[in-house]
Amino acid sequence: MSQTFTIARVASQGDGVAETPDGPVFASLTLPGEVVRGDVTEGRLEAMELVQASPERIAPVSPQYGDCGGCSLQHWAARPYLDWKREQVLLALARERIETEVEATVATPPGSRRRLALHARRGPDGRAILGFKGRRSWRLVEVRTCPVADPRLEAAIPALTRLADAFLEHPKSAPTLHVTLTLTGLDVDVTGVERRTGFSGDARTKAIQAAVAADLARLSLAGETLVMTRQPMVAFGRATVALPAGGFLQAVPQAEAAMVDRAVAAVKGSKKIADLFCGAGTFTFPLAEVAPVLAADASAAGIAALKSGVPTAKGLKPITAEARDLFRRPMAPYDLRGCDAIVFDPPRAGALEQVGQIAQTKAATVVGVSCNPVTFARDARVLIEAGFRLEQVTPVDQFLWSAHVELVGVFRR
């Protein structure tokens, strides 16, 4: 039976929420204050009709809007949308009873994403199609244009579709093309392919030919290079680094710059800096303009890439880098001796074990970079209880029009 609701707020995953006596009702693609009508199924509004729109609603720019699962907030005007992201950080901190200055969200422009994960499937007519998963579905939505992507990635979609066809040999293969725009061209790492029976010699040859025809810098399969015409290179501060196959890179250069700038500003005047979960050196090289850096990350390939980039940068303080699993073997106070500033940038799970060790050091400044406000707030509580003060937090909108929020937090002893 159809019912009418008023949306009270937007929840952390980007869905609108109507509060009812029977509990919350979630409605995708809605905004606070909007009146909607539809059928409730397991707490969700289905077959929804928008009865009264919010004045904050704007026209979406993507032709896949509403079908594609990528941009859940493209219909929201910029200012309230960015304010909502800041609010998500405030709410996460409040759950841990943390009060601090939270700056306005740093915006990123459309057409700036340098990394895309494109899923490949065969369509009903047998042709290869590339796209993103549908909203709340495993169905694939074909993508020919993407307003968040760098235009050079968007322009490559036809060639990438031809490439994907080679990886669809086995019916159980569900390839994902992880495409990265580097200084030397596109780097593509493919995952989700049946390796034993789903990638024959003929398929490998076909993939390599398609990669060369597309002028890719490199094509790899789950980190194993199939063909490389040019080494994919990225710039971190003054250094030029050879990106490892399947290696991590921040998705948007402008977001990376905003986070790096704030981390560097926070550690000015330090005598020695630790950069934990350093990857291939996103923060390491800019930090080394301030003081000597001790860098550590679980990725041996990332550490090797970082080391290879050291000779390309002039005028930096010394960099020492170590491949080390900071979840299983966190850096102890002994390892971090002499470091009066520490930067950590962990995965979504946070860095609870490592933060417990940081709390016992004599560091005066700690900078936390996070892609998950909830685990950041949990880790921040550990540092605060050890005598640190969370001085300020800056939200960063790296993943435009999504519910995802990144941040930089500065702690002082």
Known catalytic residues are: 371
User: Nearest CA to 241 among 189, 294, 283?
Assistant: 283
As a whole number of angstroms, the distance between CA 185 and CA 222 comes to: 19
As a whole number of angstroms, the distance between CA 303 and CA 299 comes to: 6
Question: Judging by DSSP bridges, how do beta strands 218-221 and 224-228 pair with one another?
Answer: antiparallel
Dihedral sign for Cα 290, 182, 223, 313, please.
Answer: negative
Question: What phi and psi, each to the nearest 5 degrees, are found at residue 71?
Answer: -110, 90
Map tokens 């969200």 to a residue: 105
What's the Rg (C-alpha) of the chain?
23
